[in-house]
Amino acid sequence: MAARCKTHSSFRGGNDNASPPANRRSRSGGHSSIAQAQWQPPRRVAPAIAARGLHLEPPLAVLGPLHSIPSFPASPTTLLRFPSSPSSPTRFRPLSFTTMAARSASEPVELQAPNGVKYTQPTGIFINNEFVKATSGQTITSIDPATEKDIATVQAAGAEDVDAAVQAAWLLHLTVARVLTLHPGKPYAEALSVDLEESITVFRYYAGWADKVFGQTISTTHQKFAYTLRQPIGVVGQIIPWNYPLSMASWKLGPALACGNTVVIKAAEQTPLSILFLASLIKEVGFPPGVVNVINGYGKDAGSALVEHPKVDKVAFTGSTATARNIMKMASATLKNITLETGGKSPLLVFDDCDLEQAVKWSHLGIMSNQGQICTATSRILVQDSIYDKFVEQFTQTTKTVSRVGDQWNPETYQGPQVSKAQYQRVLDYIEVGKSEGAKLVSGGKPFDVNAKGFFVEPTIFTEVKNEMRIFQEEIFGPVVVISRFSDEAEAVGRANDSTYGLGAAVFTKDLERAHRVAAEIEAGMVWVNSSQDSDPRVPFGGVKQSGIGRELGEAGLEAYSQVKAVHVNMGNRI
């Protein structure tokens, strides 16, 4: 599965006017900020929120200023505007859209956070700037993984609902202005400082690109020249994961909108709430109807319908490698443009000349933050023989000290529950696999009891792990790490590359010549030197091998959502 990183300083966007990040730390969360147990408001608040003079109160997690949510219309949209003919794209006439007209509004529900603050939660699918009921009759119930209690029930899209969302985006994609605004059980500090803040930062970064997407002028001969146009792809279907639902939405929406596309975005069924809150903000700041459409639904129904829809021009997906394979098969029927960011089993190499204390802290952050539910999690730690025992001892002690497991609303908590019962069971099953394969269980390995409820797992450490073991090769997506040893650089690189994945990797050494050499040899889309989980909106993100196709973030993210047209101009060459 996927996820990424970081907290940044303010960016103004594009390749210019972007100041370097100050005090950047991993999106996975830093030890100090969580250990301090001090809630700090974000450095930046979305323009739509700041304009209303609001402030954030803990502990409201990823949903932001929940105590003041705009009200939602009581009636669905029944009319769409679209070009009266392909040759006159700027002239519009109203058209009765029967699919939308037959829909009824989906009423929001009032929820109350543990600190007593009440807020309004949308529950419908968001099509053409309206929250409406799904025609499928299906719903998704969001469950608090700490208490196993129902939070709210939202509408689940079927194929007909997906079609309505795609139609809304398709009919309006020619008129999109380059407008870019604002703007799952994880600990509050993580949700606030990473998921929420990163989404704001990424939106701001791509807002700066919106008027800087242009082609080239190319001199060919003295009588001819050529130029290129960078044009939007059209309607984009986006499927985001559950581990960082807001920031992953920004990674996809930001570049897609900056390039002039329209979007239908589907959230993971495990985390259907925050994307609907984002939809309400999209409406509040004035996006034209149909530009951004948000649906919840199950993968086999809504996800498949979105990928296979003939009017969807591109599909961008973040999730498991297995699901990505199915998406490739479905998208191949119409040769859709695709971007896939999939799984990982990232290695972290610790050489004997490293700063051992820093290597231990970054290694812990790299796997144990966000409950280990990070696609770039450095879940394979390879340590040089001479410091292996000392590293294992210090890493185990750090995990026991820092990885405080508990309710996500408790400011002392570092590790909350796994996102769902299925994911909880998956992690426990892999722990049993590790035991049966002969790996040494150093600590953890069991469910963690928090008031006899919730999907909590002890941080788990295996040592003496061999390459052929499943826990060395397969993505677990939980707080489970394997630590193994190597003798020299060649063995370290060989073991690191012994994987079907190639997303991220980390190298700890004071020898920068070695660091650059190893970074070049490791088969990964990203390498961190003396850190882990770093990311920046200006730097491409993506993997090699079975970790994905294409890149997100940076200028590369714009290239994924635009297409180049070449124009040749004859200035006087006659035949």
Which residues does 87 contact at the CB level (< 8 Å), separation at least 6? none
Question: CB 356: neighbour CB atoms within 10 A?
Answer: 17
**C-alpha distances out from residue 8 to 35, 201, 251, 378, Å:** 20, 7, 14, 21
Query: Could you tell me if 407 and 416 are in contact, meaning their C-beta atoms sit under 8 angstroms apart?
Result: yes
The one-letter code for the residue type at 371 is: Q
H/E segment holding residue 225: strand 224-232
Give DSSP secondary structure letters for 277-310. HHHHHHHHTTPPTTSEEEE---IIIIIHHHHH-T
**C-alpha distances out from residue 18 to 91, 162, 210, 215, 501, Å:** 38, 37, 14, 21, 32
Quote the tokens at residue 146.
């700490």
Of 198, 284, 308, 341, the active-site residue reads 341
DSSP state, 117? -
Q: Which residues pair with 562 in a beta bridge?
A: 232
Give DSSP secondary structure letters for 126-145. EETTEEE--TT-EEEEEE-T
- Rounded Cα distance between 460 and 454, Å, is 18
Query: Could you tell me if 210 and 254 are in contact, meaning their C-beta atoms sit under 8 angstroms apart?
Result: no
Q: Of the candidates 504, 454, 460, which has an alpha carbon nearest to the alpha carbon of residue 480? A: 460
Q: Of the candidates 3, 13, 2, 4, which has an alpha carbon nearest to the alpha carbon of residue 201? A: 13
Question: CB 299: neighbour CB atoms within 10 A?
Answer: 17
- Rounded Cα distance between 464 and 485, Å, is 8
Quote the tokens at residue 357.
């204390």
Query: Could you tell me if 416 and 144 are in contact, meaning their C-beta atoms sit under 8 angstroms apart?
Result: no
- Helical segments of 173-295, H only: 188-190, 197-207, 245-258, 273-284
DSSP state, 501? E
Assign 265 to helix, strand or coil. strand
- In the block, tokens 């972007």 appear at 18
- Rounded Cα distance between 287 and 289, Å, is 6
- Rounded Cα distance between 135 and 263, Å, is 20
The one-letter code for the residue type at 160 is: E
Can 341 be counted among the known catalytic residues?
yes
Q: Are strands 92-96 and 79-83 parallel, antiparallel or unpaired?
A: antiparallel
Catalytic residues: 341
